[in-house]
A and B are shown apart, each in its own frame.
Chain A
Amino acid sequence: MKIPTIALATLLAVSLHAEEISFDFKDPKGVNNIVFKLDAPLESISGTTNGISGTITADPAQPEKIAGKIIVDAKTLTVPNPLMQEHMLGAEWLDTAKHPEMTFEIMQVLHSKKDGNSGTADVKGIFTLKGISKEITVPVKVTYLPGRLGDRTGGKMQGDLLVVRTNFQINRGDYGIKQGENLDKVSDVIDISLALAGAAPKKQ
């Protein structure tokens, strides 16, 4: 009697684990992007990056069960002015030579709401910029697109997609980026918008 119970528990655990899908956010199409905006009294700066990677493990049936980490290659941040970009990536500002990555690691999902294949939640995580890590909570919209990977790859790969969107703000001063300096030209508040699609290819 004991053996079937253990076997059933093991089967249940395996089947529950099987529902979790791992999505890779390294997008070969270059669609995944992060836009950052700084609106200072004298100058408005807007830039982008698509140097994004990382994985998120999600259970489509349980939106609160999301874990993972998104990594941004800091050297891929671009602004339209080459001199401004050189300054931004340089030692005085982002110091990408010493701190080549920005990361967001999911800790906890709060207030999740599911609506069909979409869901919203407040995601608490650790945001790391210029080597300084802080706990932040960001509002996230997640859309699960089962079986749509084939449409994106022209049928080369089959699988699912997970689209993650969020907008949030950080203060550069909190991350040791020239705190209280040049505020007339470079705003302390940075508006960040993420729109990412992760792929989970089905194993053949």
Chain B
Amino acid sequence: MKSRFRTSIRILALLFFACCLCWWWFGGSNTGWTKTYITAPTTDEVTGIVYEVKQEKFVPGIDCLAVGTGLSFAVFAASFLRFPKP
């Protein structure tokens, strides 16, 4: 029973880590800090000036990946704790 509970926590930790990795990977694999907007270069037809048009978009960065990895390791580590018998 105890062993099954520990295994469940470890699987949960692994799933959480996998979800974080997928979220970061498919969110643009941004190796910088998390962004809350992205920019697209646009050219003004009259002046020829190239300017950046902002688009609201959440792009997870390595900080999100680090927090996710840290939390999944914490959950995984919790599975090794000895729980007092009731």
**A residues neighboring B (CB under 8 Å):** 29-33, 35, 43-44, 48, 50, 78, 80-84, 143, 145, 148, 151-152, 161, 163, 165, 195-197
- Which of B34, B46, B61 touches A161 (beta carbons < 8 Å)? B46
**Shortest beta-carbon distance from A25 to chain B in Å:** 12
Verify if B47 is at the interface (C-beta below 8 Å from A): yes
A-B CB pair tally, cutoff 8 Å: 60
Could you show 20 A-B contacts with beta carbons less than 8 Å apart?
A31-B44, A31-B49, A33-B52, A43-B32, A44-B32, A50-B51, A80-B39, A81-B33, A81-B34, A81-B35, A143-B48, A145-B47, A148-B47, A152-B44, A152-B47, A161-B46, A161-B47, A163-B47, A195-B51, A197-B47
- Give CA–CA (A148, B48) in the complex, Å: 12
Residues facing A in B36-52 (CB within 8 A) are: 36-39, 44-52
**Shortest beta-carbon distance from A185 to chain B in Å:** 11
Q: Can you name the residue of chain B whose Cβ is closest to the Cβ of A44?
A: B32
Does A152 contact B49, Cβ atoms closer than 8 Å?
A: no
Which residues of chain A have C-beta atoms less than 8 A from B51's C-beta? Answer: 30-33, 50, 195
**Shortest beta-carbon distance from A47 to chain B in Å:** 10
Q: How big is chain B's contact interface, by range? A: 20 to 34
* Apart from the given pairs A33-B51, A81-B34, 18 other A-B contacts in the complex at a CB distance below 8 Å: A29-B44, A30-B51, A32-B51, A33-B49, A48-B39, A50-B51, A80-B33, A80-B35, A81-B32, A81-B61, A82-B36, A83-B33, A152-B44, A161-B46, A163-B48, A195-B49, A195-B50, A195-B51
Does B52 contact A35, Cβ atoms closer than 8 Å?
A: yes
Which residues of chain A have C-beta atoms less than 8 A from B52's C-beta? Answer: 33, 35, 48
Which residues of chain B have C-beta atoms less than 8 A from A82's C-beta? Answer: 36
When A29-B44, A44-B32 are in contact, do A80 and B49 touch as well, CB less than 8 Å?
A: no
**B residues neighboring A (CB under 8 Å):** 32-39, 44-52, 54, 59, 61
Which residues of chain B have C-beta atoms less than 8 A from A151's C-beta? Answer: 45-46
Does B46 contact A148, Cβ atoms closer than 8 Å?
A: yes
**Shortest beta-carbon distance from B22 to chain A in Å:** 22
Which of B47, B50, B54 gathers most chain A CB within 10 Å? Answer: B47
Which residues of chain B have C-beta atoms less than 8 A from A195's C-beta? Answer: 49-51
Q: Can you name the residue of chain B whose Cβ is closest to the Cβ of A83?
A: B33
